[in-house]
Amino acid sequence: MTVQTMITQLVFGMITSIEIFLLTLIFSLPLGLLVAFARRSRNALVSGAARVYISIMRGTPLMLQLMVVYFGPYYLFGMRIASSYRFIAVIIGFSINYAAYFAEIYRAGIEAVPIGQSEAAKILGYTRVQTFVRIVFPQVVKRILPPVTNEIITLVKDTSLAFVIAVAEMFTQAKAIAAAQTTMVPFIAAGIFYYVFNAVVAFLMEMAEKKLSYYE
């Protein structure tokens, strides 16, 4: 295998890792907010369902969840699994897993905002939606950025778990090349990629924190 071929395969794996990362954030962040609302609902059934969901997602390995999402349709309903479903299963598995973590972060952020602010907004004639969007949510975003950053950095590294259902992301490609060529170079290249990617994410999140510093 030439160096050019090795780099090409690693780049394809890198693109797949980035796609998993971005799509997971796109789906899990809003889903996490919905779960947080459900978790705080006054309806015992809704709140209980959210609690169970969060408990299962946080209490079982992501690798196992990916396998359930991918193989579940076949074993439960006898559905034929197409090869194209592998990537979709990865996005579903990652999204529902990270949504549970983001939900608890959102909930903590919402509950950290003094209740007096919501009461004052009600007196001023704000609706519940207006109060949340204009007063509560901007403060929540500021408060939750550090823990969200930690989860996002973990997500970058967790993309390597896609190998469990044979999705060829960065780590899978590096492992295959290393096994074929008996060299550590692909692993070193993958390590550099994860480190640089996380450094960029941390930098962007730090910039976002500075932009929101006016809430201090």
For the chain, helix (H) and strand (E) counts, in that order, are 9, 0
**Which tens digit of pLDDT belongs to each residue from 128-183?**
777 877 777 788 888 888 899 999 999 998 998 998 888 878 888 888 888 887 88
pLDDT per residue over 180-196, tens digit each? 878 888 888 888 888 99
- Give me the pLDDT at residue 155, please: 93
Q: Count Cα atoms within 13 angstroms, Cβ side, for 97.
A: 26
Q: Per-residue pLDDT for 1 more than 70?
A: no
Q: How confident is the model at residue 64 (pLDDT cuts 50, 70, 90)?
A: very high
Q: Is the pLDDT of residue 124 over 90?
A: no
Residue where the block lists tokens 């299963």: 89
Q: Each residue of 96-120: pLDDT tens digit? A: 999 999 999 999 888 887 777 777 8
Range of weakest confidence among 9-13, 123-127, 196-200? 123-127
Q: How many residues are recorded in the chain?
A: 216
pLDDT of residue 179: 82
Query: Of 96, 207, 205, 210, which Cα lies nearest the Cα of 149?
Result: 205
First-to-last alpha carbon distance for the chain, in angstroms, is 55
| C-beta of residue 113 within 8 angstroms of C-beta of residue 132 | no
Q: At what angle do helices 185-211 and 3-39 cross, to 10 degrees?
A: 40
**CA–CA distance, 186 with 173 (Å, rounded to integer):** 8
Q: Which residue has the tokens 């169970």?
A: 52
Give residue 79's pLDDT: 80
What pTM value is reported for the model? 0.86
Are 100 and 31 in contact by the 8 Å Cβ rule? The answer is no
pLDDT at 38: 94
List the domains of the chain with CATH numbers.
3-215 (1.10.3720.10)
Which pLDDT value is given to residue 172?
Answer: 83
In this predicted structure, the answer to whether residue 203 has a pLDDT above a threshold of 60 is: yes
Residue 160 has phi, psi (to 5 degrees) of -65, -20
Q: Where are the alpha helices (DSSP H) in 134-213?
A: 137-158, 170-181, 185-211
**Cβ atoms 215, 138 nearer than 8 A:** yes
Cβ burial, residue 2 (10 Å; 0-12/13-18/19+):
exposed
Q: What is the mean pLDDT of the chain?
A: 86
Q: Which of 56, 23, 38, 11 is nearest to 169 (CA)?
A: 11
The model's pLDDT over 11-61, given as tens digits with 9 standing for 90+, comes to 888 899 999 999 999 999 999 999 999 998 889 999 999 999 999 999 999
